[in-house]
Amino acid sequence: IERLELHDLDLEKGVINAPAGRLRLTRKIPLEGRQILPWRRFIEDIRSSLITERSDKLLHPQADKRQRLHHQLKRLSTRVKAQAKAGPGLTINKLNQLRQSRIAIWVESYGLRKAQYLSGLRRLQSVERYQKQKLEDLQRQIGRHHPLQ
């Protein structure tokens, strides 16, 4: 989040170009049509009201120092948790749950390799843990390897 800059968001093509990090690879994450308008509204209305001095940072233009960013992310986390509880009635313990659920959806929708690319994970084994095991597959494996069957 802290690496994203204005030029990383391309609303005309509908993608976010996520830069590489210490643990993540560079990738292009496609946006759905319903996500483009809120991003445009954020950039034109909300972000412009946050800016006190020129900054290319996308989500936290006023937080040039890491300490300020940490405080903002804590506030964001609190707000997201409250909105999830009030709206759909979800309980979110950590914001990382949102990322994990998105990766699980990508694995189910696109397969392991595409989910690996979209999440920026370097190893396929990191993505495999998000794969749901089908009950029939597990029963077949038990039948094949169980000594009493």
Residue 15 has a pLDDT of 94
**pLDDT for position 61:** 62
pLDDT of residue 10: 93
Q: Tell me, what's the pLDDT at 84?
A: 80
Tell me what pLDDT residue 136 has.
67
Quote the pLDDT of residue 142: 77
Q: For each successive 10 residues of the chain (149 residues), what is the average pLDDT? A: 85 91 85 90 83 75 63 78 80 80 87 89 84 69 71
pLDDT of residue 141: 75
DSSP string of the chain, one letter each residue: -TT-BGGGEETTTTEEEEPP-SS---EEEEPPHHHHHHHHHIIIIIIHHH-SS---BSS-TT--SHHHHHHHHHHHHHHHHHHHHHTT----S-THHHHHHHHHHHHHHH-HHHHHHHHT-S-HHHHHTTSPPPHHHHHHHHHHH-TT-
